[in-house]
């Protein structure tokens, strides 16, 4: 996890994942029946939809993002993948 996250960073996940310092999943029943939890889950769902639409637009313009062929076995590989994605985003914004 320390390869992918810096201090204070986390990810949202679906209910198949367990809670950890780096992972915040949506709630499973019966916790999802709580109105506050349901509101949280709905907000996360809206963010996920926006994220999916963003990635779809990027993949539509940059074929290399559809199947990024980088095996991530160490931090340098992760940095390479992040830099490739970052460059596609920058080019997308410039064009």
Q: What is the pLDDT along the chain (95 residues), one digit of tens a residue?
A: 677 788 888 888 888 888 888 888 888 889 889 999 899 889 988 988 998 898 898 988 888 888 888 889 998 999 999 999 999 999 988 98
Residue 24 in contact with residue 15, Cβ under 8 Å? no
Nearest-5° Cα angle at 44, 40 to 48? 170
Residue-range domain boundaries for the chain: 1-61, 68-94
User: In whole angstroms, what is the distance from residue 38 CA to residue 45 CA?
Assistant: 10
């Amino acid at each position: 996890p320390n390869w992918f996250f810096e201090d204070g960073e986390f990810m949202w996940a679906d209910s198949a994942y367990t809670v950890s310092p780096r992972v915040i999943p949506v709630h499973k029943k019966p916790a999802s029946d709580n109105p506050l939890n349901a509101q949280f889950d709905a907000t996360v769902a809206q963010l996920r939809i926006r994220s999916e639409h963003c990635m779809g637009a990027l993949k539509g313009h940059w074929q290399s993002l559809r199947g990024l062929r980088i095996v991530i076995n160490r931090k340098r590989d992760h940095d390479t993948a992040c830099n490739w994605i970052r460059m596609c985003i920058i080019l997308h914004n410039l064009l």
